[in-house]
Structure 1
């Protein structure tokens, strides 16, 4: 792992995406750079390891890209939190409010056992709505969520205030 690598140099900023006035932090350039990607996974693993997870839960879809290799690095299981109707078998749903409307995420009913320590993983923490909903969903199936982890936090949106567990992030953007 490169201790001095500046991961922000590997994240592309795209103005006015997905709509005017939004500055999108694109991790695809980070994913495409082998050393930066490896460093990202190692640094996130170092932040998550002290929380002693049994399982990592990735939020669809970029959370899957992080949680799966992190689970391998940490020797844990990996479960998916998906949009409504995307998982087979019996599922548990949680519907939550968005700025305009609602959304629903699901987990398979038997994905985690009661009392399992599940660290929630996604690429970015913005307003915190989806991540807070994911914590509620995990807790509803009996998981203990000791922390959530992301590559990027948009601190000016104060998303961590909506979350019960602490949040571990590698990079913060203040605007």
Structure 2
């Protein structure tokens, strides 16, 4: 089981969500219990040396990776959400995208100053959302020690926007 190539569980969907895009569908990985267990075990093994106090999950597919990782690592889980999704006082950050802008929020009391946090998501593409997440977490007082993603599209060079170590489970050059 340890020698399994997890790429065989990722389905490529051409022209989704628009023509010219090859979408890497993780649902085929998620629905295979053995492959998903192996994926989360490999991610936990890579993240454990950073000794996070919290994992920060980017809405919404980041929740899928962060939940099993936080359980395996014995640390907390913080949600980074779109506007209007979190109760109570929040801290927000608006950031630019290729075609517009977006905003992320975190609950104001989610982090104690200096806590070590690892950001998790399903995909690292252009890096805008992950970089904004790091900036938001720092604004909230976190010591962001790394990021972990299921898939990285290396040709888009999103990693270049980050000043933290990044663990990638699966890389694609397209």
TM-score bracket, shorter-length normalisation: over 0.9
Report the equivalent of 1:131: 130
Deviation at 1:125, TM superposition (A): 0.3
For the aligned residue pairs, the C-alpha RMSD in angstroms reads 0.5
Could you tell me which residue of structure 2 aligns to residue 17 of structure 1? 16
1:84 maps to what in 2?
83
1:85-164 map, 5 Å: 85-164=84-163
Unaligned runs of 5+ in 2: none
Structure 1 runs not aligned, ≥5 long: none
**Cα distance in 2 for residues equivalent to 1:106 and 1:122:** 15
* Whole-angstrom CA distance in 1 between matches of 2:99 and 2:5: 36
What's the secondary structure of 2:145's corresponding residue?
A: coil
2:32 and 2:151 mapped to 1: Cα distance? 17
Give the CA deviation at 1:5: 0.8
TM superposition shift of 1:85 = 1.0
| Shift of residue 3, structure 1, vs aligned partner | 1.3
> What secondary structure, in the 3-state scheme, does the structure 2 residue paired with 1:111 have?
coil
Runs (4 or more) in structure 1 with deviation over 4 Å come to: none
Cα distance in structure 1, aligned partners of 2:109 and 2:68: 22
